Structure 1
Amino acid sequence: MQKGIPLSFYQTIMDSTDVGIHAIDHNGKTILYNKQMMHIEGMEIEDVLDKNILEVFQFNQGENSTLLKVLKTGTPIYNSKQKYFNNKGQEINTVSHTLPVKEGHNVIGAIELVKDVTKYEKMALDYHKSAIVGPEFELLFYEGIFPADILEAAKQAAFSQYSVLITGEEGTGIDTIAEFILLESDKSERGSFRQSCASLPEIYLEEVLFAADGKGLLTEAAGCSLLLEEIQELSIPLQQKLLTYLENPAVSDHEGIPARPRIIATMSQDPFDAIAEQKLLKELYYRISETALRVPPLRERKTGIAGVCSYFIKKFNQFFNMDVLGVSEEVKGIFHSYAWPGNIKEAEQIIQDSMLVMDREEKIEQHHLPMHFRQKVHQETDFLIQKNREIMPLEEYLQETEKYYIQKALQYHKFNITQAAKALHMSRQNLQYRIRKFGLKA
């Protein structure tokens, strides 16, 4: 311990952290064991302290304690999943970092930092059959909410056996389209399943999908539709494993049920950007995109804004017991000129916040709009009308306008150069040149 710092400081840190800490000396005996570790392993400190690990814990045949492995090899082990049993015979599952403790070149012990994975274990067991009640699906058929061609393609995809990939920016409603397809698929199949690829650590996600006991999600969903949300969040090794599984010859069982699930996948990132950034295997993309649906952002379909507003006003009229008829002409103009970077989700929030401050008015007026939204709109429109600024030369003004517009395009596309260049109808190289020319941050 550092000279001058009381031992109680270290003890307080040990016992207040939410990470389990277990340390052994060069003989494999426990010398540190904090309260979180007691909670994780269901042990008391006297059960463990000053005892060799193998006297206290039991490991399956062929397996050993990661603490003892690191003590022997002197090599750290990161993100290791371990299953063993305490002195009561209770099964313990952990994910840990295990590090050697050295003095010079000599290993004098090992320390393990353990995550409480109880919630992950529960999530891994609770993936079962999809219980989607779904959002208000009349939204899908309300004029202007989604383009007609997207709705028609979604209906056809629901009753086909082709894999489906649904892409779109955050807030565009790709989850709604995916759930619609999944629910419609239930009518012609044994059921449907879903799993978010961003909700579990990789080590548990692999167990959920490819359980060694034959009860993994891919096996359970045979003959059904399986929704994999944000599939690009799978690690590349897991994507490769999934691709190999899907490409193996599928043989129906004796009841004629296909041995493979039909994959429905979603991505809130452009798949070609994900491939370029090595977040998505190109081969997996082609395997899961037999039917590909792209849900366009609101800024690409301004005619849909009126329908979006009408739907959410109707929805919140019911929630708040109100009778709002629509939005004023001024607000219509604001909504039509706004780029809606948050898409449908942002529109829903703006309508809800506006209606919460209304008092028997029939229409949403500008002063009802949330302050943060009004400020954002003002900043975007104030650039063109600057009352206290002298008229500048046209060429200078056009350059300033170009700089401002490119900066906005980058912001709307979260500084993704490929998407911004596509929206601006210019090449990546041209956009990168202008970014350098104007000194913009990308």
Structure 2
Amino acid sequence: MVEAAAIGTLLTEIVPGVVILDENSRVVWHGGRLNDCFPLKNGMLAADIFPFALPAAQDQTTTFTTSQSRKFLLRCKPLDLPTTRMTILMLEELTDLLENKDARLACLETIIDSLDEGVILSDYRGKMLLYNKAQEKLEGLVSDRVVGKYLWEAYNYSPELSEHRRVFDSGTPIIAQYRAHATIKGKPQYVTYSTYPIVKDGETIAVFSVSTNETKLKDLLHETLELKRRISDPSSASKERPSTGAMYTFSDISGISPAFRNLIQEAENIALHNTDILIVGETGTGKELFAQSIHNLSKRSKSPFVAVNCAAIPENLLESTLFGAVKGAYTGATDQTGLFEFAQDGTLFLDEINSMPIALQSKLMRVLEERMIRRLGTTTVTPIRCAVISASNEDPQELITAGKIRLDLYYRIARSCLYIPPLRERKDDIAYLLRHFIELYNKTMNKSITGMTDRLRELLLYYRWPGNVRELQHVIENLVIRSNDKQQLLDLSHLPAYLRATLNSQRSTAHSRKNETRPLKTAVSSAERDYILNLLEQSGWNITKTAQQMGMTRQSLQYHLKKLHLRKEEQSY
């Protein structure tokens, strides 16, 4: 029987001897180290081989002694297949089992340390019992320093967030989770993992996690998408903006903080759907970078990406710029194709939509609802096919309260909403981006800078970066330009005088802040987070119910959740 041979071959890798019987208790397969103990042949009855009655047809373990006074452990397991029923007998000599226990343990440890997957084992108290070499590579920690510690001590988080504790208490495994993090050396990693209970005699005695490094796979997927884009549009291989208008992909977005990696993953998921999107973030956080990346990952990637800054165009010209005009519509008007038409089947990116006049917002609302535009000076309507990505550098809820953006327009453009946190809230990303841009400008300027002095690094980490990533990039570019070709470390002498004074001032403020009351905006944000979190926990994270309690729409609450980084699934090992 093919099934019996396959099962038996696999089992002999685990136990010394295997005998498989058919439904008539005849041998259909045997293997392992049994020939010196039992005269085995296919077709023999089990009763002719073993000098005792086999266990009943349920899982059972027993011991027996042969006529040569050799004692064996026998595990009997029935197996029902679609075409037949078999009984598997697994035999192991007890003397071997006892004498080789230490050797087997050593072999097991060697095997675990040889796995490509990371393994963490914790006991009933949450203390780490095992942390293999693959896990060391994934996280940059050392086994000798973490084994014996509580998980929350090793990872510096609250015990209530421990997935190991949750699995231990519930006995239910957590399967196929995704996590993005950085090692202690700042290297980004993307990991899938599952956490399982270890149960003995009906009681959970330990918990283990198996983690797989998906970084190479994720990079390969990005490379494949980029290659596909370049093949379909060879001109995009150059550094010039391609004919579609979008040159950036998600592989160009740099950051390692968990919240930021989750944001990228969310944006990648949104890109796969045909929906209007609102991106919220301060100046310099990379809103257009996200917009272009979404476009290039979407089905519209071969069509135009058209960007317009609503704050840069005079109010009297913005309407004709978006919707078009015909000759004579106003003094000096000529036939003009609007950006909605020009975008065709692609994407129209409306940057700083919060600067759009209220009167024009109502017209935009009608266009998005009807999917039709009417050029200035004509009654003829033209259907539009493009997707719309909008961006705001201010909090939409504050804009709505201040009457600067229409509530109905917000609901229409924010079917999916992405909130890009400012750089000052992503300390891990600041350190990472400092290294990233040094490496970038080393290549473009042919320098060999390896880092910066501790003093300069401290000042840059304390700086609040009002211009966000764009400002940080320009500062590093300036520092590298001002360094000489033989220097390996950037230092304070490379800073422009105005920036040096600003950094020193902000560092002094940061050191004294701990003895002062918090800024009003920070205190309000913290209170808002605590208030919403408390209501969510009371409602069992029922978004609709919580929104009703707060007197707002479900969509408005979801925006606040994204802005405050509140997620029900925030857990750790």
TM-score when normalising by structure 2: 0.42
Which residue number in structure 2 is paired with residue 179 of structure 1? 292
Unaligned runs of 5+ in 1: 1-128, 252-256, 387-396, 407-416, 428-442
CA distance in 2, matches of 1:239, 1:378: 44
The aligned runs of 1:284-303 (5 Å cut-off) are 284-303=409-428
Query: Judging changes above 3 Å, is the alpha-carbon distance between structure 1 residues 370 and 138 closer, same or farther for their aligned structure 2 residues?
Result: farther
CA distance in 1, matches of 2:435, 2:249: 14
Q: Which of 378, 398, 401 is the equivalent residue of 2:516? A: 401
The aligned runs of 1:127-142 (5 Å cut-off) are 131-132=244-245, 134=247, 138-141=251-254
Which residue number in structure 2 is paired with residue 192 of structure 1? 305
CA distance in 2, matches of 1:321, 1:276: 51
Q: Does the 8 Å contact 1:168/1:267 carry over to 2?
A: yes
Which residue number in structure 2 is paired with residue 156 of structure 1? 269
Query: Judging changes above 3 Å, is the alpha-carbon distance between structure 1 residues 337 and 194 closer, same or farther for their aligned structure 2 residues?
Result: closer
Q: Cα deviations across residues 1-60 of structure 1 (Å, max 9, x unaligned)?
A: xxxxxxxxxxxxxxxxxxxxxxxxxxxxxxxxxxxxxxxxxxxxxxxxxxxxxxxxxxxx
How much has 1:369 moved relative to structure 2? 2.8
- What percent of counterpart residues are identical? 29
How much has 1:262 moved relative to structure 2? 1.4
Secondary structure at the counterpart of residue 476 of structure 2: helix
Does residue 356 of the first structure (1) align with residue 481 of the second (2)? yes
Query: Judging changes above 3 Å, is the alpha-carbon distance between structure 1 residues 212 and 139 closer, same or farther for their aligned structure 2 residues?
Result: closer
Q: Does the 8 Å contact 2:245/2:306 carry over to 1?
A: no
How much has 1:207 moved relative to structure 2? 1.1
Q: Which of 258, 261, 264 is the equivalent residue of 2:389? A: 264
Which residue number in structure 1 is paired with residue 340 of structure 2? 218
CA distance in 2, matches of 1:374, 1:321: 26
CA distance in 2, matches of 1:241, 1:187: 25
Which residue number in structure 2 is paired with residue 86 of structure 1? none
CA distance in 1, matches of 2:415, 2:483: 48
Q: Cα deviations across residues 307-342 of structure 1 (Å, max 9, x unaligned)?
A: 211121112112221011122333332222222222
Matched pairs, number? 270
Q: Which of 153, 165, 168 is the equivalent residue of 2:278? A: 165
Q: Which of 341, 345, 360 is the equivalent residue of 1:238? A: 360
Does residue 279 of the first structure (1) align with residue 394 of the second (2)? no
Letter of the structure 2 residue corresponding to residue 377 of structure 1: L
Query: Judging changes above 3 Å, is the alpha-carbon distance between structure 1 residues 136 and 225 closer, same or farther for their aligned structure 2 residues?
Result: closer
How much has 1:147 moved relative to structure 2? 1.3
How much has 1:141 moved relative to structure 2? 5.0
How much has 1:159 moved relative to structure 2? 2.5
CA distance in 2, matches of 1:380, 1:373: 10
Letter of the structure 2 residue corresponding to residue 206 of structure 1: E
Query: Judging changes above 3 Å, is the alpha-carbon distance between structure 1 residues 215 and 166 closer, same or farther for their aligned structure 2 residues?
Result: same
How much has 1:261 moved relative to structure 2? 2.3
Does residue 340 of the first structure (1) align with residue 465 of the second (2)? yes
Q: Does the 8 Å contact 2:462/2:510 carry over to 1?
A: no
Which residue number in structure 2 is paired with residue 326 of structure 1? 451
Secondary structure at the counterpart of residue 228 of structure 1: strand
Q: Does the 8 Å contact 1:186/1:192 carry over to 2?
A: no
CA distance in 2, matches of 1:220, 1:131: 11
Does residue 366 of the first structure (1) align with residue 492 of the second (2)? yes
How much has 1:133 moved relative to structure 2? 5.1
CA distance in 1, matches of 2:398, 2:251: 33
CA distance in 1, matches of 2:259, 2:286: 9
How much has 1:281 moved relative to structure 2? 0.7
Secondary structure at the counterpart of residue 349 of structure 2: strand
Secondary structure at the counterpart of residue 296 of structure 1: coil
The aligned runs of 1:35-46 (5 Å cut-off) are none
Q: Cα deviations across residues 186-205 of structure 1 (Å, max 9, x unaligned)?
A: 65564332222122222221
Secondary structure at the counterpart of residue 147 of structure 1: helix
Letter of the structure 1 residue corresponding to residue 505 of structure 2: Q
Q: Does the 8 Å contact 1:182/1:227 carry over to 2?
A: no
Query: Judging changes above 3 Å, is the alpha-carbon distance between structure 1 residues 155 and 358 closer, same or farther for their aligned structure 2 residues?
Result: same
Secondary structure at the counterpart of residue 166 of structure 1: strand
Structure number with higher strand proportion: 2
Which residue number in structure 1 is paired with residue 504 of structure 2? 378
TM-score when normalising by structure 1: 0.54
CA distance in 2, matches of 1:326, 1:150: 28
How much has 1:139 moved relative to structure 2? 3.2
How much has 1:218 moved relative to structure 2? 2.3
Name the Cα RMSD after superposition: 3.3
Q: Does the 8 Å contact 2:244/2:302 carry over to 1?
A: no
CA distance in 1, matches of 2:280, 2:410: 12
Task: Work out which of the two has the higher radius of gyration on C-alpha atoms and give 1 or 2.
Answer: 2
CA distance in 2, matches of 1:384, 1:421: 16
Secondary structure at the counterpart of residue 172 of structure 1: coil
Deviating more after overlay: 344-353 vs 291-300: 344-353
Which residue number in structure 1 is paired with residue 83 of structure 2? none
CA distance in 2, matches of 1:357, 1:237: 49
Q: Does the 8 Å contact 1:144/1:306 carry over to 2?
A: no
CA distance in 1, matches of 2:510, 2:436: 32
How much has 1:144 moved relative to structure 2? 5.3
Q: Which has the higher contact order (CA 8 A, sep 6+)?
A: 1
Query: Judging changes above 3 Å, is the alpha-carbon distance between structure 1 residues 199 and 281 closer, same or farther for their aligned structure 2 residues?
Result: same
How much has 1:377 moved relative to structure 2? 2.4
Q: Does the 8 Å contact 1:210/1:218 carry over to 2?
A: yes
Does residue 229 of the first structure (1) align with residue 351 of the second (2)? yes
Which residue number in structure 2 is paired with residue 205 of structure 1? 318
CA distance in 2, matches of 1:145, 1:367: 34
Q: Cα deviations across residues 50-95 of structure 1 (Å, max 9, x unaligned)?
A: xxxxxxxxxxxxxxxxxxxxxxxxxxxxxxxxxxxxxxxxxxxxxx
How much has 1:268 moved relative to structure 2? 1.0
Deviating more after overlay: 220-229 vs 163-172: 220-229
Secondary structure at the counterpart of residue 278 of structure 1: coil
CA distance in 2, matches of 1:178, 1:385: 37
Q: Which of 301, 308, 312 is the equivalent residue of 2:433? A: 308
Letter of the structure 2 residue corresponding to residue 290 of structure 1: R
How much has 1:271 moved relative to structure 2? 1.0
